[in-house]
Amino acid sequence: MVAIKSAGIEAFLRSPDRRMTMALVYGPDRGLVSERAERLAKQVLGDETEDPFALVKLDGEAVAADPGRLVDEATTISMFGGNRLIWVRDAGTRPIDAALAPLLEKPAEGAFVLFQAGDLKKSSGLRKKLEACGHAAVIPCYGDDARGIDDLIDSQLREFGLSIDPAARQDLNAMLGGDRMASRGEIVKLALYCAGREKITAEDVAEIVGDVAQLNATAVIDAAFSGRIPQLERDYHRLVASGLSGAGLISQAIRHGQTLQRARAALDSGKPMAAALGVFRPPLFFKRKEIVAAQVSLWTANRLDKALADLDDALLTSRRNPGLETALPSRTLMWIARAAVELKR
C-alpha cells in the first residue's frame, strides 16, 4: 500500500484497513507522529494497550542488533488470545532490512507491527519497502497547515465549551504549527485560562500564548538561515533542554536547506517568488512566507551547498560522538547564522 494521502489519514486512523498487518508512521512533526502512532495502537489493541502480553515495545537499535527478535515477537501466539502489537520506535535510526524481510514476504498472523520513525527521505529503505508492500500502511506526518491548526483549535476548544473570536483565531493559528503536541498544549493552556467564559479574545491569546509556541525547531532553523543570532543563541538551548535532540534539529535544518535549494533554483530559472515558495511542503502559512522568501533571496546556490555540507558533517559527527550532540549542532547553526549576516552586508 502506498503512502496514505493526507486527506485519507483521519479516516484510516478511525477505521484501519484490516488487511494491513504493518504500518509506518513517520515525519518531522514528532508530536503528530506520536499522536497518530498511539491512535493506531489503540485501534489495534482497544483497551489492552497497557497489557504487557498484548503489547511489545522495541526500539530501532535493538531490532538492528538482533533482527530475529522482531520476527519471533510477531509470530508468537498470544497466551490469552486476542491481538498483539509489536511497536518499534525510532525505527529509522538504523537499517533493519534483515528483520523486515520475513514480514514483507509473509504477513504475521495475529500480530500487528507498528514502526514509528522521525522524518525519512524517499530513499529510506524502510519507507521504500513498506510503501511497496501490499499489507503495510504508510502514514506521513508533516506540520499542520492553517486548516489543520484550525481543526485542532476547534476540537480542543469544543471539549471546554469555548468559542474563539475570528481575530483571536487568526493570531493563534499563526503562532502554532511545527509540532502537534506543542500546539495542543498551548491550546489547552489557553482554554484553561479562559474556563468559565464563552469566548476567547485576541487579548487572551496575546496574554497566554504570546511567543511561547514559536519555540520550536522551525523557529530556531529560521533564526539560523535568517541571521538572527541573538534569537538562535537564546532559543537553541531552550529547545534542546525541552527534549529535542541536537541531531534531530540538524536533520530538520538539512531538509529546510534542501528545500531552499530547490526554491532558489526555481527563482534563478526565472520563476516568480510565489512559484519558488510553492516547493515547500506542507505549504507555508502566510506569516512564514515572508520569512522564507527573505531566505530564498538571501542565500545563493553556492552558499547553500556549503551550508548543507557543514550540516551533513555535523549530523554524522554528532551521531558518532554522542557527547557532541548538543555543542556541535549549536556551533554549526551559528556558522550558518553568521554566514547569513555576511550575505546581508
pLDDT digits (tens, 9 = 90+) for 32-71: 888 899 999 999 888 665 666 788 999 888 899 998 999 8
**149, three cell numbers:** 491548526
Instruction: Please give the average per-residue pLDDT across 228-251, as a whole number.
Output: 78
Higher model confidence: residue 158 or residue 284? 158
Q: Distance between CA atoms of 69 and 102, rounded to whole angstroms?
A: 12
* Long-range pairs of 231-236 with CB within 8 A, sequence gap ≥ 24: 232/333, 232/334, 232/337, 233/334, 236/330, 236/333
pLDDT digits (tens, 9 = 90+) for 62-118: 899 998 999 888 888 765 556 789 999 989 878 888 899 999 988 888 789 999 998
pLDDT given for residue 180 in this prediction: 79
Higher model confidence: residue 126 or residue 281? 126
pLDDT digits (tens, 9 = 90+) for 312-345: 888 888 777 777 767 788 899 999 999 999 998 8
Report domain 146-212's class: mainly alpha
Residues with Cβ within 8 Å of residue 19, at least 6 apart in sequence: 135
Handedness of CA 335, 232, 90, 143 (dihedral sign): negative
Handedness of CA 105, 140, 88, 96 (dihedral sign): positive
Instruction: Please give the average per-residue pLDDT across 137-144, as a whole number.
Output: 85
Q: Distance between CA atoms of 231 and 223, rounded to whole angstroms?
A: 6
Only one residue has cell 502512532, namely: 37
Helix (H, G, I), strand (E, B) or coil at 24: strand
Only one residue has cell 495475529, namely: 110
pLDDT given for residue 283 in this prediction: 75
List the CATH code of the domain at 6-140.
Answer: 3.40.50.300
pLDDT given for residue 107 in this prediction: 85
pLDDT given for residue 51 in this prediction: 64
Higher model confidence: residue 187 or residue 179? 187
Helix (H, G, I), strand (E, B) or coil at 267: helix
* Selection from 32, 27, 34, 49 nearest residue 112 by Cα: 49
pLDDT exceeds 50 at position 214: no
List the CATH code of the domain at 217-344.
Answer: 1.20.272.10
Instruction: Please give the average per-residue pLDDT across 305-315, as a whole number.
Output: 89
The domains of the chain are located at: 6-140, 146-212, 217-344
pLDDT exceeds 90 at position 164: yes
State the burial class of residue 114 (Cβ atoms within 10 Å of its Cβ: 0-12, 13-18, 19+): buried
- Residue 248 — pLDDT band, cuts 50, 70, 90? confident
Kindly report the number of other CB atoms within 10 A of residue 181's CB atom.
14
Instruction: Please give the average per-residue pLDDT across 159-179, as a whole number.
Output: 83
pLDDT given for residue 97 in this prediction: 87
